[in-house]
A and B are shown apart, each in its own frame.
Chain A
Amino acid sequence: MNLPDPERLLTEMAAALDAHLAARGIAEPRFIGIRTGGVWVAQALLEARGREEALGVLDVSFYRDDFTRKGLHPQVQPSELPFEVEGQHLVLVDDVLMTGRTIRAALNELFDYGRPASVTLVALLDLNARELPIRPDVVGATLPLAPEQRVKLLGPRPLALELQTFVSAH
């Protein structure tokens, strides 16, 4: 399978995001990336839009719904939001959107910081495997994968995609 070039997708995403925000009259959104790949994509998006501003970083390990099945992620790091969430328009960025569970966790975490005015969801890739009613507002590409396939983002610069195939245990 041919994977798209993330750097090329970013230009289109930046334009689509600008249009999306303009249509809603959002002038000064705050950007938040989900660790780790989402932070790289958010950083690249900010650069593509020619803006230098503080980027929020979210680590959703404490909010995941699979703690009772998978336990705690051993490399959990602090979330860092260098701005207020209360009343702000937020742009939440992730690299690969699959089931939607990470986004649910991220939304739960964000609301513990305050009540945002709105949240716009941006993803580089949508694997079209959603298990929750969560869809991106802006997406680089939609890429249906076989069940044993995963895609991994390499970064931070240049961004590249890598296809991984898992051999099933059964």
Chain B
Amino acid sequence: MTPTYAKRPLQLNDLGQLRHFLSLDGLSKELLTEILDTADSFLEVGNRSVKKVPLLRGKTVCNVFFENSTRTRTTFELAAKRLSADVITLNVSTSSTSKGETLTDTLRNLEAMAADMFVVRHADSGAAHFIAEHVSPDVAVINGGDGRHAHPTQGMLDMLTIRRHKGDFEPLSVAIVGDILHSRVARSNMLALRTLGCRDVRVIGPKTLLPVGLEQYGVRVFTDMAEGLEDVDVVIMLRLQRERMQGGLLPSEGEFYRLYGLTTQRLALARPDAIVMHPGPINRGVEIESAVADGAQSVILNQVTYGIAIRMAVLSMAMSGQTAQRQLLAEEQK
């Protein structure tokens, strides 16, 4: 094995194509753009009377969810079905691990079912990486969210939303607001925005919900909503993740809403044509006012539609990269 092989990022094959999709860290602008372009084509498929293409016919996609999710699980399921793959969904949180099975044993069992692809969601950061490292080389792994680390398909669907509504990333001002500390979506979005050339990425939240070292992402940090929202083109609200909070990070939800809730009044500080995004599920009256969530500037439900197209793009590209890698190895052995 050559040293370059060892250094090659886990999620790319020897041709630089996507093979697993674990994090946006280290992926090039060109690759992210290819994902967005491919998703654009899949969006068109979603408008047909038959919303299905035969690309992954005969492949088996296994959704392994160690953590609860409705939107991500169902849109991954729908994406795989629209690619004509066979799909099984395992809610591991409610089954084997609670009976004492280890992660590796669960995986071996799934491999024995001849799955070609795993979509993994796990409450621990790095779980998808771990699985990609230990899985059989024929299986592609897609990260459906791991702990506080990354949620790369959410990041990419947010990018698709911004590109379809606002066009080029470079001149935009984008604010990410709320519970940054617990948010894997925030991390994926900051990485994607910077990679795609967005010059003004702002992060707004109370000090207790801002992780240290945020500046390394090349973002500007604000603790005051009025300052941070001024003239932005895009507002990405995050859900307040009370279930991940231990101890007194916040005085109360009411206090948070008073200082950081996105109200009609506050939204007026952004550009008049600014769009409002949220990865869902939204907490009305906690981080966002109902009138804003349901208002004309909200693209929250469009995000769900785009999410299916992004997941179709990532599933097919990873399967494609996996196949290419297998062929490369087969040719080397000849």
* Contact surface of A with B, Cβ cutoff 8 Å: 59, 61-63, 67-69, 71-72, 74-80, 108-109, 112-114
Contacts and interface: CB of A to CB of B under 8 A. Distances in A.
A114 B49 contact: yes
A80 B41 contact: no
Interface in B278-334: 316-317, 319-321, 323-324, 327
Nearest to B50: A112
Given A69-B327, A78-B43, 10 more contacts: A62-B45, A63-B54, A67-B55, A67-B320, A71-B17, A71-B323, A71-B324, A79-B44, A112-B50, A112-B53
A62 B54 contact: yes
B34 interface: yes
B38 A72 contact: yes
Contacts of B54: 62-63, 108
Contacts of A77: 37, 40-41
Contacts of B40: 77-78
A72 B316 contact: yes
Contacts of B45: 62
Contacts of B48: 112-113
A54 B323 CA distance: 38
Residue of B317, B320, B321 with most chain A CB atoms under a 10 A cut-off: B320
B52 interface: yes
Given A112-B50, A113-B50, A62 B55 contact: yes
B134 to A, nearest CB: 25
Contact of A112 (B34, B42, B52, B321): B52
Contacts of B37: 75-77
Nearest to B321: A71
A62 B84 CA distance: 11
Interface string B22-44: 00000000000010011011111
A62 B41 contact: yes
Nearest to B320: A71
A63 B316 contact: no
Contacts of A69: 323, 327
Contacts of B44: 78-80
Interface residues of B, number: 25
A76 B42 CA distance: 9
Residue of A69, A78, A114 with most chain B CB atoms under a 10 A cut-off: A78
Contacts of B34: 74
A35 to B, nearest CB: 11
Contact of B41 (A67, A71, A78): A78
Nearest to A59: B41
Nearest to B51: A112
Interface string B170-188: 0000000000000000000
A112 B47 CA distance: 11
Contacts of B323: 67-69, 71
A63 B49 contact: no
Nearest to A61: B41
A75 B17 CA distance: 13
Contacts of A71: 17, 319-321, 323-324
Contact of A72 (B43, B50, B52, B55): B55
Contacts of A108: 54
A5 to B, nearest CB: 34
Contacts of A67: 55, 320, 323
B100 to A, nearest CB: 38
A63 B316 CA distance: 12
A114 B324 CA distance: 33
A72 B53 contact: no
Residue of A72, A79, A112 with most chain B CB atoms under a 10 A cut-off: A72
Residue of B41, B319, B324 with most chain A CB atoms under a 10 A cut-off: B41
A161 to B, nearest CB: 28
Nearest to B30: A74
A114 B49 CA distance: 8
Contacts of A68: 323
Of all A-B residue pairs in the complex, the 8 with the closest CB atoms, nearest first, are: A71-B320, A78-B44, A62-B53, A112-B50, A72-B320, A78-B41, A76-B41, A62-B55
A71 B38 CA distance: 13
